[in-house]
Homo-oligomer: A and B are copies of this chain.
Amino acid sequence: MGNAKIRLFVDQPIGAGQAVALNEAQANYLFAVMRLGVGASILVFDGQNGEWRAEVAEAGKRKGVLICVEQTARLRMPPDLWLLFAPIKKARTDFIVEKATELGAARVMPVQTRFTNADRVKVDKLRLHAIEAAEQCGGTFVPQVDDVMPLAKVLADWPANRRILWCNEHLAGVAEALPKGGDTGPWAVLIGPEGGFSQEEQDRLAAMPQVVQASLGPRILRADTAAVAALVLWQAHLGDWVGDQG
């Protein structure tokens, strides 16, 4: 831990002098676990107004109040990048959401494909994972995590100007497939289920002008690895990892 500051996401707009009411879990964490008292400083962010230093004004067993004092970081939006993925085993699905947040995706969309069993996906839990990851990685933005939607419906309503990086096998590498730097704009990364896409889904995707297909190397990657790899390569080529911004 060392001098690691406590960072807390708060679900209300923050600003100078703004009072923030803590819920039971937050109060328990700050006052019981971390043993903070009145006057202690932590960092808070709401996903919209950057990061603020806030001081504990009231510390109770099940509640408490923070007062925002000064802005410590401006809001840093990630690039306009969505992640579409077919939910897999719980731990790996949690992992995908955590990594998507760390790596700078703006929106996470679990999709139901022909070969996906998404019955047990708990989107509320996924949202908590995104918040925790943002608290951990110093982010000031928490990606939106959508409810599970059928892939067919998502593609039927797909915006004409949003490209899709579809990570498929036996193709040119992502580095070659992506347009060269500068030309960003809205994008999405699409990761299929471990069982792969159905023929119908593959035909549908291949027919979309927005789709760019690329390979993630000669080895077969698990879906969670593929999601991380594709986000990393997109960020490094078109996103905010590009050197002069990194």
Known contacts A174-B236, A225-B228; is A215 also within 8 Å of B246 by CB?
yes
Stretch among A8-16, A23-31, A61-69, A237-245 lining the B interface: A237-245
Separation of A175 and B245 alpha carbons in the complex (Å): 12
* Chain B residues whose C-beta falls within 8 Å of the C-beta of A221 in the assembled complex: 102-103, 137
Question: So how many copies of this chain end up in the complex?
Answer: 2
Q: Which B-chain residue is minimally distant from A225 (CB atoms)?
A: B102
Separation of A1 and B222 alpha carbons in the complex (Å): 13
Indicate if the CB atoms of B136 and A222 lie closer than 8 Å.
Answer: yes
Q: Which B-chain residue is minimally distant from A136 (CB atoms)?
A: B222
* Chain B residues whose C-beta falls within 8 Å of the C-beta of A138 in the assembled complex: 219-220
Interface residues in A188-235 (C-beta closer than 8 Å to B): 195, 215-222, 225, 228-229, 232-233, 235
Residue in contact with A229 in the complex, picked from B115, B136, B219, B228, CB distance below 8 Å: B228
A183: CB under 8 A from chain B? no
Residue in contact with A217 in the complex, picked from B173, B175, B229, B240, CB distance below 8 Å: B240
Q: Which B-chain residue is minimally distant from A237 (CB atoms)?
A: B175
Indicate if the CB atoms of B195 and A218 lie closer than 8 Å.
Answer: no
Known contacts A1-B195, A102-B225, A225-B228; is A176 also within 8 Å of B243 by CB?
yes
A122: CB under 8 A from chain B? no
How far apart are A220's CB and chain B's nearest CB, in angstroms?
Answer: 4
Indicate if the CB atoms of A137 and B222 lie closer than 8 Å.
Answer: yes
How far apart are A235's CB and chain B's nearest CB, in angstroms?
Answer: 6
A171: CB under 8 A from chain B? yes
* Chain B residues whose C-beta falls within 8 Å of the C-beta of A102 in the assembled complex: 219, 221-222, 225
